Structures are given as C-alpha cells and as structure tokens.
Amino acid sequence: MNGFAVTSLFLKNLLDTIGVDMHMHSTFSDGASSVTEILEKAKEGKFGISITDHNEIRGAIMAWDKDVFVVPGIEVKSKELIDILFYFNKIEDLISFYGKEIEPSKTHFFHTTRTSVPVAKLAELSKIYDCLAVVAHPFGYSVRSSLKDVYAINRSTLVKFDIYEAINGGNNRKLNQLALDEIEKEKKAYSGGSDAHSIYSVGNVRTYAKAESVKEFLDSIRKKENDVVGFEGRLGKFGEYGRFAANKIKGILNPR
C-alpha cells in the first residue's frame, strides 16, 4: 500500500477490512487486460475486484467463483450516455438483470455498445432489483459523452441514486474533489475504483469494508461503513493505450 495517496474524506480504520477495486474493464469491452491477468494481479496483491465491463457481463462471469473476492458488476451506459455501475450479491442476479434489462436494449456502433435505456429508468431499476447502483465518475468524462456538463443537465435524475463514485482512478484530483463535495452535500453513500483499462491500473483505487461476503460488503457501502483509498492517474499509460489499440483492432477484425 506504500505510495497510495488517501483522497477520501471518510477514512476511518482499514484494519481487518477487505479492499476491492470496484471499477475496471477487461478485453470483453474496452479494456486491454484479460480476466486471467486481472485475477492474477488481485490474488498477488490480496485485494478484491469487480469487473464492470461496458454493457457486458462475460468478464464478470469468468471471474466469479475463483480464489479471489469478486463482486459481480457491470457498467451500463444509458441513452443519455451516462454511466451507472450496478453491483449484485450473486452472479445469478447479475445474469438475470443483464438478460432482462440490458441485453435487449444494447445498440452497437463501431464495436462499442450503449443502451437505449434512459437514466431515469436505470434509477427505477436500482430500486426494483437487489443491487447497488452507483453513479460513475459524476463529474468526469463529460467530453467523451457530451460537450456539456452531463451531471448538471441530469442532476434531478442522478440524485435519485443513493451512491456516487467518490474516487475514480481515471479522473484528476479536481474532478474527484467535485464528486466528494457533492457526496457531502447530498449525504450520499460512496464507492471507488481505478476504472482500469489495463493491468497497470488495476488496484490503484480500492473500497474498504469489514465483510466476509459480497452481501456484507455491499451492505457496508449502503450504510456508509466503508472507506475509499487510492490515487488518480494511470501508470504506464502509453503501454496501456498501445495494448488497448491492439485489442480493439483484434476485436474489430475478429468479433466475438
């Protein structure tokens, strides 16, 4: 853990807790790391993971039931191009949610996917399913999604979600601080993850809680009995982008 910068405002006590990187991508979406690579790094580093591929669950399924603490998850891109992270207690629950709500609504554009589900509908689904729904990088990646302030435009809907991502490893400190300020203002629960798109960044941001099961871990976040620790920036970013490009070219030429 040496070299980690604590950016969470909520740090309490990390003793006897489990740390989970709750936001990352594999080769099943736009990541450059295989599920095997991710699991190996997590096992070596003794931390948990959640593979949250974009509108895709094959990576989460492959990682499940291995010798690593794994939280079943997915990152859903709404009709408005807003990213919402969904986490479940069991892989079967994620599979059911994906099959009923996400897979039928997926649209494809040049080997990328988004959904036709409005963010307001995702907010409703977060109350219907036994899940943890998190607004990903609330103040980040707006240029990727829109030239406008996505959070400000959709704020009345996004505040319906109970949990915000406090620290996103792909954001800079200023953007994460905006998220932290909003979390305090709205009294939201919080999580954090590296948003790794290659093995370099996996584990850079972790959510800590005292738990022996996935259910206990997610419940701790709901109760605000967790901490988020990590640092921004992606190590070895040029290597990351090179592997990402190679993976995308391979995927386009040989679609799964």
- DSSP per residue, 48-82: EE----BT--HHHHHHTTSSS-B--EEEEE-TTS-
How far is 51 from 41, CA to CA, in rounded Å? 13
Quickly tell me which residue has 């006897």 as its tokens.
Answer: 16
Q: How far apart are CA 84 and CA 7, in angstroms?
A: 22
From first to last of its 256 residues, the chain has per-residue pLDDT tens of 333 444 444 555 677 899 999 999 999 999 999 999 999 999 999 999 999 999 999 999 999 988 999 999 999 999 988 999 999 999 999 999 999 999 999 987 655 678 999 999 999 999 999 999 999 999 876 544 444 566 777 889 999 999 999 999 998 888 888 999 999 999 999 999 999 999 999 999 999 999 999 999 999 999 999 999 988 875 444 445 455 555 544 444 444 4
**Element containing residue 163 per DSSP (H, E):** strand 163-168
Decide which of 3.20.20.140, 3.30.390.30, 2.40.420.20, 3.40.50.300 is the CATH code for 18-245: 3.20.20.140
Q: Which of 80, 23, 50 is nearest to 205 (CA)?
A: 23
Residue 240, helix vs strand vs coil: helix
pTM of the predicted protein model: 0.86
Q: What number of other Cβ atoms are within 10 A of residue 57's Cβ?
A: 24
Cβ contacts of 151 within 8 Å, gap of 6 or more: 138, 139, 142, 158
Bridge partners (DSSP) listed for residue 133: 86
Contact predicate 227/208, CB 8 Å: yes
